[in-house]
Structure 1
Amino acid sequence: MYFGKSKKNSLSGRVPPNQNVTTSFPVLHHGNVPYYKDLSKWALRLFGLVEQEQFLTYDDLLAMPLKSSKNDIHCVTGWSKLDNHWEGVSTNDIVHRAALKPEVRFVILHAEEGWSTNLPLEDFIRDTSMLAYAHNGQALSPEHGYPLRAVFPHLYFWKSAKWLKGIEFTREDKPGFWEKNGYHNYGDPWKEQRLTWD
């Protein structure tokens, strides 16, 4: 459900250009939706320019300090969903756990089926950035990234990778799936950086 124009105008300064506010949570992705029945077979790999590669289990993540955040999200396809409540882990806690080498400049998120996306380290460690395992008081659904997804509300939502499997810390940028297929390499919704030529 989309709000009418008058509602949208009342949200000036909160909704980026050419976005429509929705109360639903559209499901958009490339490939299949993974369904985990046994999380003992799942782990989050931290690798690249780190002091020691490691794997975090779901229980490891649950044992880390809880981060709770409320924010708005904006999809490159034109919808915005306001007032999302997320629970999960701070990306700063992940960086601390990974013990990065000083030359790290970029973070590459790796997900199911070989999917990936990229962002600068400074965006990964923003106070508003997190790795989420719950949305609006419920565990993530498979369609929305269970067991773990990234949340970077200051970027278009494709950067908030679903079904995370690994986080790679690198010196060089490595464009991911959508970035290699025409999407903007950074994706600032306020600048409408939707496509490579924007």
Structure 2
Amino acid sequence: MSDDDYKPGLIGQIKDKLISSKQQWAKDGRLLTGEASSRERNRLPPGQRLVRDWPVLDLGVQPNILLDRWQLTVGGLVGNPVKLDWNAFLDLPQSDSISDIHCVTAWSRYDNRWTGVLASDLLKLVKPKAEARHIVFQSYDGYATNVTLQMFSAADVLLAHSWDGKPLTREHGGPVRIIMPQYYLWKSAKWVKHIAFLDRDAPGYWEVRGYHNTGDPWKEDRYG
């Protein structure tokens, strides 16, 4: 076992502790203010605090994915299923984007600079079928989260591989993570490896543990 691997017992202990505490947050309604606001009026959603650093939050496991072994598959209800290795991913149209991010644990960070593949360009490639309405992101650490096709189709959504001009680090979801700026950050799956297009909703890891199915920060959609 390499230094980058985790012992199974330790993984289990960390995961159990994190899951238990966050499920309790949902039961208690922790951090809720009840003050929904308009994103047109207020840049900072209700109940959030502004930070300058970028806190690290995960399930206690940070998979170490070598670029020559990284792979992204897209399937389900699409006309053109794809399997992309690293070079094929970089051959797709690349875009730069600046956006704010908002974590359900009540911190927000402004003006993050991303480089990656816009969701709109991926959609042009895979051609979702007419019956596709929902998407599930699956990650290398076993995580999954669900969004609607409409949410994923927004102009500011992308599959990011770089942040502030540098490759996205392992701790923040590199090589590639989803970025959906208009929703709480748990919807922006780290270490993404598969994107499935579905005709039905399929709640993900936190959604089945008491968290909101949509996750709109301006509506305080923290918990279901």
Q: Is 1:22 aligned to residue 51 of structure 2?
A: yes
Correspondence 1:1-198 to 2 at 5 A: 13-36=42-65, 38-196=66-224
TM norm structure 1: 0.90
- What's the C-alpha RMSD, in Å, of the aligned pairs? 1.0
Q: Return 5+ residue gaps in structure 1 as ranges.
A: 1-11
Q: 1:41 offset after TM fit, Å?
A: 1.5
Q: 1:61 offset after TM fit, Å?
A: 1.5
Does the 8 A contact of 2:48 with 2:106 survive in 1? yes
Q: 1:51 offset after TM fit, Å?
A: 2.1
TM norm structure 2: 0.80
Q: What amino acid does structure 1 have at the position aligned with 2:192?
A: L
**Take 2:134 and 2:73, find their aligned partners in 1: how far apart are those partners?**
16
Does the 8 A contact of 2:63 with 2:141 survive in 1? no
**Take 2:209 and 2:95, find their aligned partners in 1: how far apart are those partners?**
33
Does the 8 A contact of 2:141 with 2:191 survive in 1? no
**Take 1:136 and 1:48, find their aligned partners in 2: how far apart are those partners?**
33
Q: 1:98 offset after TM fit, Å?
A: 1.0
Q: Return 5+ residue gaps in structure 2 as ranges.
A: 1-40
Deviations 1:50-76, CA, capped at 9 Å, x for gaps: 124320111112111111110110000
Larger mean Cα displacement after TM superposition, 68-77 or 93-102: 93-102
Larger mean Cα displacement after TM superposition, 95-104 or 167-176: 95-104
Does the 8 A contact of 2:112 with 2:163 survive in 1? yes
SS in 1 for 2:141: helix
SS in 2 for 1:143: helix
**Take 1:140 and 1:152, find their aligned partners in 2: how far apart are those partners?**
16
SS in 2 for 1:93: helix
Q: Count residues with an aligned counterpart.
A: 184
**Take 2:167 and 2:130, find their aligned partners in 1: how far apart are those partners?**
35
Deviations 1:87-112, CA, capped at 9 Å, x for gaps: 00010111111121110001110101
Does the 8 A contact of 2:51 with 2:109 survive in 1? yes
Q: 1:126 offset after TM fit, Å?
A: 0.5
Q: Post-superposition, which runs of at least 4 consecutive aligned residues in structure 1 deviate over 3 A?
A: none
**Take 2:77 and 2:98, find their aligned partners in 1: how far apart are those partners?**
31
